Chain A
Amino acid sequence: MTSKMAMRILTAIVALIFLISWIMKSGSGMSDSAFTNVRNGFLITFAVFLTLSIFSFLYRDNPFYKFAESLYVGISAGYWMCYGFWSTVVGNFVPRASRSLSEFFHVPYQEQADHIFIYIPIIFGLILLTRLLPKIGWLSRWSLAFIIGATAGLNLTRYLRSDFISQVSNSFIPLFVDWKGIGDFVNHISLAADGQFIAILSNWVIFVGVMCGLVYFFFSKEHKGAFGVASRVGIWILMITFGASFGYTVMGRISLLVGRITFLFGDWLNIL
């Protein structure tokens, strides 16, 4: 049997299962309206078909996955285009540009003094479109330069605060919490989570982790000798952190899988 024939048989089986599922789900509908039951039956069956088509990727690339992928990408691209038009052009530009246009699109006209500023992004946007005309396409680089330069400049202070200053600031922690001498420390040593020993240990781990992490990300010196040891400790700390983060995120992904399984076995097969 050729693979083409096998594919046809498989498609026929899938179509048959689809039809049976649609009929059964329509028959078991809860609504009084037959049309609603038929529609809901189709929607659930189609959602199941798309879910299983995407899951079929785990086996290998196949026409069902290609169909689901193309549908997903096409709908998404169309949706974002509409969203961009209605949120940016109609939402931001039209209410500030023209009263008659605002009335046409049923959005309230905003009569403000700063209307002049909206023409700056409009000009840059139009310049960006000059890419479509090869002779003056170079003009679009002005818009691109503005986008990258402006956003990089704006992000500089934001990231400087969130990713650098705040991190450094929070690393100034006491290395000897509630220290009243070595004798007192030894007498009261315990592994209680809110105890002095654990507090001191936690702060030392943070301190050493920050120091060695900074050493690892120091690019101007070769990582050899004591510097290399500190760098290796830094990468170990990073890897331990990544391990914890990996487990945490995988748990989140499993919950997404549980959601899909619940849909298949609950909403579709009514087993759960």
Chain B
Amino acid sequence: MKYIILLFLTCSSLCLSQALLAQTASSDPPAEAALVPPEPPAPPSNVRLSDLANDDGHGIQVKWDLSPDDGNGAKNVISYDIYRAEAPDAPDSLWKKVGTAVLGVKFYADKGDRESDSRDYLPKRTDLYYRVYAVGAGVRSQAAPAGPVQASDDWFNSLKVPELIFCIVFLILTVRFINMAKGGIDLYVRPLAGIEAIDEAIGRATEMGKPILYVLGIGTAGDIATIASFTVLGRVARKVAEYQTSMIVPCCDPVVMTIAQEIVKTGYADAGRPDTYKEDSVYYVTSQQFPYVAAVNGTILREKPATNIYLGYFAAESLLLAETGVLAGSIQIAGTDQVSQLPFFVVACDYTLLGEELYAASAYLGREPLLLGTLKAQDYLKATVLVCMVALLALRVITGADVIHKPFDMPWW
């Protein structure tokens, strides 16, 4: 009994002491409060506002001269806080902090959002006012409002001049080569083993009486790789119709499925066999990556296609699909512009189209002037870049001067 009483007393005293300590801690004023509050640093001066260039009209450039206390003295500036309001005399609650600049920095780009329901919305063509505070250790300076300024959108983004130049050069080259191809000039394209194997693979499927599986990947209809794959699909569909073989095209995207259906249907019509086209040979599975893979893998093992063609945008599913194709004993042709997935296709497939070869495949197969002209233009653009690189680097080595450092990263013109 006495031990219980002793235990009770010990616990009570401990609780009491904790409570007293907590009360003392909360009631005692902090040690800092007893000291003299630190003096605020001097505010930055000459705050200038201007519309942010090369934007869609939701940005303001704020510039200022550094506070005299920036980088020296006891009132050293730690950072600058930038506030924005729509009226100079707005109450403090309506001044919104839009950003912070570290000491030594004399500008801030207030890049707002265009959506009016966004927290970072910055209205277009509206008077705006800014305050820039110099922030010290626990205190900040006074700040007078600067403004007004209005954000407006720009018709021309000068940062994209390199893209414009390349597009113009590319366009001129493309038009020239298309005209040459249309004029009957034979434009040479080197053979691509993967594409040459397609006809052979379709023939194999015909002999074996087994279907051809064509996978367009998990990309959307807007992905360049998917668009390139559509062109090859048209060619394959035409051959399949000619050889009277069956074809399976499981799709991961409903829009891709719709386009693929149109292309396969057109391929069958071009081959003069529109009656043999089966609508359900091109079907939608699901838009999620791994369920799609599970379904396609199941199809490969059950249907045992003679040929699997994987062309388009692929991610982690590349090896899963290609390995299952190996298990099923199919001949496999793959191609993607996803560099991280190419190793898996190289390992597991019989033929692989590496990156740009996928884009070239459509031109090589179709031999259409439009595609050939584009391919030739790409080649000549690459050749131009190659020559320019060698020339500039040689100039740099010979003269020892930094001729052009990262030439397209800033508007040096």
Residue of A with least CB distance to B410: A169
Encode contact with B along A92-114: 1 for CB under 8 Å, 0 otherwise. Answer: 00000000000000001010100
Q: Which residues of B contact A152 (CB under 8 A)?
A: 222, 224, 227
A172 and B258 in contact (CB under 8 A), knowing A152-B224, A249-B340? no
Complex Cα distance A57/B302, Å?
12
Tally of contact residues, A, Cβ under 8 A: 68
Whether A172 contacts B190 by the Cβ 8 Å rule is no
In the assembled complex, the Cα of A68 lies from the Cα of B286 at a distance in Å of: 15
The answer to whether B379 touches A218 (Cβ under 8 A) is yes
Say yes or no: is B61 at the interface (Cβ < 8 Å to chain A): no
Task: A222 to B295: give the CA distance in the assembly, Å.
Answer: 41
B397 touches A172 (CB 8 A): no
Q: How far is the CB of B184 from chain A (nearest CB, A)?
A: 18
Contacts of A54 in B (CB 8 A): 294
Give the contacting residue for A151; candidates B222, B291, B382, B406; CB below 8 A.
B222
Residues of B with C-beta under 8 A to A241: 339
The answer to whether B288 touches A144 (Cβ under 8 A) is no
**How far apart sit A32 and B22, CA to CA, in the bound complex (Å)?**
35
* Residues in chain B near residue A148, CB distance under 8 A: 221-222, 227, 259
Bound-complex Cα distance A161 to B188 (A): 28
Distance between A199 CB and nearest chain B CB, rounded to angstroms: 15
Q: Which residues of B have CB within 8 Å of A171?
A: 389
Residues from chain B with a CB closer than 8 A to the CB of A207 are: 393
Contacts known (A61-B302, A73-B285, A175-B393); A218 close to B406, Cβ less than 8 A:
no
Query: Which B residues touch A131, using CB under 8 A?
Result: 258
Task: State how many angstroms separate the Cβ of A232 from the closest Cβ of chain B.
Answer: 14
Contact A165 B376, CB 8 Å, known A54-B294, A211-B386, A211-B390: no
- What distance in Å separates the Cβ of A202 from its nearest Cβ neighbour in chain B? 15
* Alpha-carbon distance between A140 and B259 when the two chains are bound, in angstroms: 10
Least CB distance from B216 to A in Å reads 13
Task: Indicate with 1 or 0, residue by residue over B370-387, a CB within 8 angstroms of chain A CB atoms.
Answer: 000001100110110110
Tell whether A220 pairs with B340 under 8 Å between CB atoms, given A151-B221, A152-B227. Answer: no
Query: Is the C-beta of A11 less than 8 angstroms from some C-beta in chain B?
Result: no
Q: Which stretch, B91-99, B148-156, B342-350, touches the partner chain A?
A: B342-350
Check A72–B291 contact: CB distance below 8 A: yes
Give the segment of A76-84, A115-123, A262-270 that binds chain B.
A76-84
Expressed in whole angstroms, the minimum distance between the Cβ of B296 and any Cβ of chain A is 10
Q: Can you name 11 extra interface pairs (CB under 8 A) apart from A140-B262, A144-B259, A147-B221?
A: A69-B298, A110-B117, A140-B258, A148-B227, A154-B222, A155-B224, A165-B408, A168-B385, A168-B408, A170-B406, A172-B406
Residues of A within 8 A of B (CB): 54, 57, 60-61, 65-66, 68-69, 72-73, 75-77, 79-80, 108, 110, 112, 128, 131, 140-141, 144, 147-148, 150-152, 154-157, 159-161, 164-166, 168-172, 174-176, 179, 207, 210-211, 214-215, 217-223, 238-239, 241-243, 245-246, 249, 253
Shortest 8 CB-CB contacts between residues of A and residues of B: A151-B222, A76-B291, A246-B343, A242-B343, A76-B288, A61-B301, A77-B286, A76-B286
| 20 A-B pairs in the complex with CB atoms less than 8 angstroms apart | A57-B301, A61-B301, A68-B294, A73-B295, A75-B291, A112-B116, A140-B258, A140-B262, A148-B259, A151-B222, A152-B227, A154-B222, A156-B167, A160-B163, A172-B393, A172-B407, A175-B396, A207-B393, A211-B389, A249-B340
